[in-house]
Chains A and B, each alone.
Chain A
Amino acid sequence: MKRVVAREELCIGCRLCEIHCLVQHSKSKKIIKAFRDERDSIVPGVHVEEKGYVSFALQCRHCNDARCIDACMTGAMRRDPETGAVLCDEDKCVGCWMCIMVCPVGAIQMGADKHVASKCDLCIGAETPACVANCPNEAIVCEETDE
């Protein structure tokens, strides 16, 4: 399956990943419009953590042994059988935050409306996740794994 790998020794902390994640998940997919209209209604699935000169982009690891799936009480959190991605079905999610509680990397957030969980969906449907495609330093890369 496809995995997004973040390389902290290369992350330059520009946060273009967050920006393009937001755009990718906006209705218009046009950056200026997305920021004008939807900036506050989308929580990017990728988040850059920074401390001193160390920084890295973090998004859902789509773990093989995904605790968020274990913990999800509604069955909203599930693994996409085709891509192996861990996805949150926002129609099923009721915002119990179990997933947030168990995610060891802290990659699941409350959605902007605080009603459902929000996380990286690997830009399902796009050829390359937006964070990967737009990282200017290839600090976020897509790798195929055997699993």
Chain B
Amino acid sequence: MRKWLIQPDFVVERDPDRCIQCQVCVRQCANDVHEYDSDEGLVFSDSTECVGCHRCATLCPTNAISIQRAHLEFRPNANWTWGAIRNLYKQAETGGVLLAGMGNDQDFPVYWDRLVLNASQVTNPSIDPLREPMELVTYLGRKPDRVEFARENGSLALATRLEMQLELQVPVMFSAMSYGSISYNASLALARAAKEAGTFANSGEGGLHDDFRQYGSNMIVQIASGRFGVDVDYLNAAGALEIKIGQGAKPGIGGHLPGEKVDAAISATRMIPKGTDALSPSPHHDIYSIEDLRQLIYALKEATRYTKPVSVKIAAVHNVAAIASGCVRAGADIVAIDGFRGGTGAAPTMIRNNVGIPIEFALAAVDSRLREEGIRNQASIVAAGGIRCSADVVKAIALGADAVYIGTAALVAMGCHLCQKCYTGKCNWGIATQDPYLTKRLNPKVATRRLVNLLRAWSLEIKEMMGGMGINAIESLRGNREHLRGVGLTDRELRILDVKAAGE
């Protein structure tokens, strides 16, 4: 059936003076927007299927292509917006749930942008990170409240044995993105970059391809509700384990990797038959309560002989502080909180756009809550969901995060253009696809380099910002909300963030 009420999202414009009919665009568009007419000797474009991914425009050697938002305007209506109307058309035609990729794209306030950072002036010196050491090393994991010493043969010896900690050279890790939701090359690049940069990549719930096990010491492997790819070797191959309870993009919702993406390699990695849908249930069916979670945490610790920190990842929902506290008390060494901007390969649009809370509030609430309860040392906090730049990282750490996860930012570093069509499997950038035509487009070496560059650049910026504050060790920034001020926030928001207003 022709989708006759749905107009194109974009208009592809081709400058005839610049187009050399080289057909690069034709060859690069997986949506068949461009076509070469050999009779005419000309390339034509049909915008109907254009997703605005810019692949053609980016590769066009003469910059002949530009992509605009469709000009078709509805009568202005603050309530019945263009998007709302389109969704209705779509649903009227398909009768299905609206799907979307990536994170919440709605016009909610971005609280990072309403927080500003401090810098030293006169009364104390800023520190030049190019001349002085500037330390970003971060340890994630459960820490005792105190270090105890014993006297041995007249000298002091350490009596406290620290539990296993993850050592991060930069407090930025790659979020859970499964092999399956993203391509082999993308997964490989994330793992390699994590190793090269001294941080961690998260396997997501897709298991761990044999090729990636060599990067295991820089990987966090997920145990999600589908338990894909989980066996004892999987657990032991990793640096840390993460029980995925929820995801910011779709709290309360499971996952679904369609069977057509489950090729031989993915089937082997996920330990499911080739061609079958990989369905992750909404809840873990062995976790219906916090005490069930504790059992799983300790089952995992037993399985790995207490050598790996166990993280619990939860979506930022209304009661996140209490939930996080429960996780810590259940034995989580790390609590990862995924805010409502967190990305996904596919989520029901309504869920993605309407469920969950901003990470800024969730993070502030969790950190404060754990401190109030005197258990902040017992677990590290990882903030995720919408971290876009190094300043966001600094703000997150100042709010109380030990480290952050980046997903979308990492994908963008690899080339993602946020067209939000991950769920179609036709990612023109070779990231969220298993189509061999497309996966080749991501050179893992290039992607690795770009990711490492990103972390390097952010490290330099974080160091500059810290130096400006007169801080030379990241632990002095962590939870240091004195270095944050709010701009344009209500008293209540300030109170929840426990941040003073600018000028205070």
- Kindly identify which residue among B21, B27, B58 contacts A13, using a CB–CB cutoff of 8 Å: B27
- Are B443 and A10 in contact, CB atoms less than 8 angstroms apart? yes
- Are A19 and B61 in contact, CB atoms less than 8 angstroms apart? yes
- Are B24 and A14 in contact, CB atoms less than 8 angstroms apart? yes
For the complex, give the distance between the alpha carbons of A11 and B430 in Å.
Answer: 12
- Are A31 and B440 in contact, CB atoms less than 8 angstroms apart? no
The answer to the question of B154 belonging to the interface, with a C-beta cut-off of 8 Å to chain A, is: no
Given the contacts A12-B28, A14-B28, A16-B24, A139 and B443 also touching, CB distance less than 8 Å: yes
The answer to the question of B18 belonging to the interface, with a C-beta cut-off of 8 Å to chain A, is: yes
For the complex, give the distance between the alpha carbons of A138 and B441 in Å.
Answer: 10
For the complex, give the distance between the alpha carbons of A9 and B441 in Å.
Answer: 9
- Are B440 and A9 in contact, CB atoms less than 8 angstroms apart? yes
Residues of B contacting A62 in the complex (Cβ-Cβ under 8 angstroms): none
- Are B446 and A137 in contact, CB atoms less than 8 angstroms apart? yes
Q: How many chain A residues have a CB neighbour from B under 8 Å? A: 21
Query: What are the interface flags for B441-464 relative to A under an 8 Å C-beta threshold, 1 for contact and 0 otherwise?
Result: 111011000000000000000000
For the complex, give the distance between the alpha carbons of A20 and B22 in Å.
Answer: 11
Residues of A contacting B440 in the complex (Cβ-Cβ under 8 angstroms): 9-12, 53, 137
- Are A137 and B443 in contact, CB atoms less than 8 angstroms apart? yes
Residues of B contacting A14 in the complex (Cβ-Cβ under 8 angstroms): 24, 27-28, 59
- Kindly identify which residue among B17, B27, B441 contacts A15, using a CB–CB cutoff of 8 Å: B27
The answer to the question of B96 belonging to the interface, with a C-beta cut-off of 8 Å to chain A, is: no
Q: How far is the CB of B261 from chain A (nearest CB, A)?
A: 16
The answer to the question of B20 belonging to the interface, with a C-beta cut-off of 8 Å to chain A, is: yes
Cβ-closest chain A residue relative to B21 = A35
Residues of A contacting B18 in the complex (Cβ-Cβ under 8 angstroms): 32
Interface hits, A22-56 → B, CB 8 Å: 31-32, 35-36, 39, 53
Interface hits, B37-79 → A, CB 8 Å: 58-59, 61-62
Q: How many chain B residues have a CB neighbour from A under 8 Å? A: 23
The answer to the question of B349 belonging to the interface, with a C-beta cut-off of 8 Å to chain A, is: no
The answer to the question of A136 belonging to the interface, with a C-beta cut-off of 8 Å to chain B, is: yes
For the complex, give the distance between the alpha carbons of A11 and B437 in Å.
Answer: 10
- Kindly identify which residue among B20, B430, B436, B445 contacts A31, using a CB–CB cutoff of 8 Å: B20
- Kindly identify which residue among A20, A36, A134, A138 contacts B443, using a CB–CB cutoff of 8 Å: A138
The answer to the question of B377 belonging to the interface, with a C-beta cut-off of 8 Å to chain A, is: no
- Are A137 and B441 in contact, CB atoms less than 8 angstroms apart? yes
Cβ-closest chain B residue relative to A39 = B20
Given the contacts A16-B61, A53-B437, A35 and B22 also touching, CB distance less than 8 Å: yes
Interface hits, A57-106 → B, CB 8 Å: none
- Are B28 and A32 in contact, CB atoms less than 8 angstroms apart? no
- Are B443 and A19 in contact, CB atoms less than 8 angstroms apart? no
Q: How far is the CB of B430 from chain A (nearest CB, A)?
A: 8
Residues of A contacting B282 in the complex (Cβ-Cβ under 8 angstroms): none
Query: What are the interface flags for B422-437 relative to A under an 8 Å C-beta threshold, 1 for contact and 0 otherwise?
Result: 0000000010000111
Residues of A contacting B442 in the complex (Cβ-Cβ under 8 angstroms): 137
Q: How far is the CB of A81 from chain B (nearest CB, A)?
A: 33
The answer to the question of B23 belonging to the interface, with a C-beta cut-off of 8 Å to chain A, is: yes
**Interface CB pairs A-B, < 8 A, 9:** A9-B440, A10-B440, A12-B430, A19-B22, A32-B20, A36-B20, A53-B436, A137-B442, A137-B446
